[in-house]
Amino acid sequence: MADTSRKVEIRDIPTQRLRVRARLVGEDGFPVIFVHGNCSSSAFFESLMKTLPEGFRGIAPDMRGYGHTEEKTINATRGMRDFADDLLALMDTLSLKRAVFVAHSAGAGMVMQLSIDHPERVAGLVVEAPLSPYGFGGTKDADGTPCWADFAGSGGGTANPDFVQRLKNKDRSTESQTSPRNVMNGCYVKPPFRHPDEEKLLDSVLDTHVSDELYPGNFTKSPNWPGVAPGTTGMNNAMAPAWYNTSSFAELKNGPDLLWIRGADDAIVSDTSLFDFGFLGKLGAVPGWPGDAQYPPQPMVSQMRKVMERYAANGGRYREVVLQDTGHSPHLEKTKEFHDLLVPFLQEHAR
């Protein structure tokens, strides 16, 4: 492993779009920007940032709606573009022409959007347990075909209301299956793994800003199963396929090399996700499921792979690595293995 003694500094950075709280390692070197996912913050990357080799400068922002960055509404009708534009504004403020990005879960969606809009700013892209290019929920095959015309079963109304309320209450208990601590330990990672910085990571989860404008967002009622369709504001709507689609990444010319790292036992982003209404309906956990023909489990991994195969056919380069006995957060669960994949990629693309 690399030297783990690098110091992480926390700083507020005013940009043209919003004030960003960020974790920083080093002042010089090629920039590496770490982008967290849903219901977390830059704190999820702190331990990894400490292992960043000399010659690299680490930047991990709290994205809007999370951590201690300024609260501003997420306009979900732009998909992930609010986040992509926030990242671009941060790069401009720091005078960074290009960076390698390391993006986790929903963060991968943010950076795939940035790559589509501004490929010249992305020197390389590491996506960890990435959000499907067709968003989260509401699609039924590897091509991202909608289950319903209104994309019912995705968006702000799909968040578990007890989990949302416990987030809002800053609940640290283990009394319910839907407590933030139990969701983190049971779904963000593969049990029985427990991170040594569990309390700090739980702080990060609980720093999620709960509202209709941020997390999980608003929703609309639907006549289609399961009865809710995407709204127009907030994180879960920004991930909904009504507004979010980065499958055009496959058509990029001279796009960034991409390293895709995922856990074999991911409970969140998979073809059998415990957070997907199609799979939950098939399990009998949500009544009224209309069946496989109308609403099968969303094949999230298969969707990503098909887009990546199209990317490769168009001249792009990607590599998929599956870590066994690993859940949704390989960089936390298999730190050495993740580090050993990351560093050669950084060294190859720091230009």
- The pLDDT tens digits for 136-172 are 999 999 999 999 999 999 999 999 999 999 999 999 9
Predicted confidence at residue 2, as pLDDT, reads 40
Q: Kindly report the average pLDDT of the chain as a whole number.
A: 97
Domain ranges of the chain: 9-144+244-349
pLDDT digits (tens, 9 = 90+) for 308-336: 999 999 999 999 999 999 999 999 999 99
Nearest C-alpha neighbor of 82 from the set 92, 91, 72, 97: 72
Residue 317 has which token pair?
């380069």
Which segments within 203-295 are labelled E, that is strand? 210-211, 215-216, 219-221, 228-230, 258-263
Percent of the chain whose predicted confidence (pLDDT) is above 90: 98
Predicted confidence at residue 345, as pLDDT, reads 98
Using only C-alpha atoms, the chain has a radius of gyration, in whole angstroms, of: 19
Q: Which fold has domain 9-144+244-349?
A: Rossmann fold (3.40.50)
pTM of the model: 0.97
Residues 6+ apart with CB under 8 A from 95: none
* CB contact burial 193-219 (16+ within 10 A = b; e otherwise): eebeeeeebbebbbbbbbbbbbbbbbb
CB atoms within 10 A of CB 286: 16
CB atoms within 10 A of CB 325: 11
Q: How confident is the model at residue 98 (pLDDT cuts 50, 70, 90)?
A: very high
When pLDDT is averaged across residues 283-299 and rounded to a whole number, the result is 97
State yes or no: pLDDT of 22 exceeds 70. Answer: yes
Q: How confident is the model at residue 351 (pLDDT cuts 50, 70, 90)?
A: confident
Residue 83 has which token pair?
């986040």
Q: How confident is the model at residue 29 (pLDDT cuts 50, 70, 90)?
A: very high
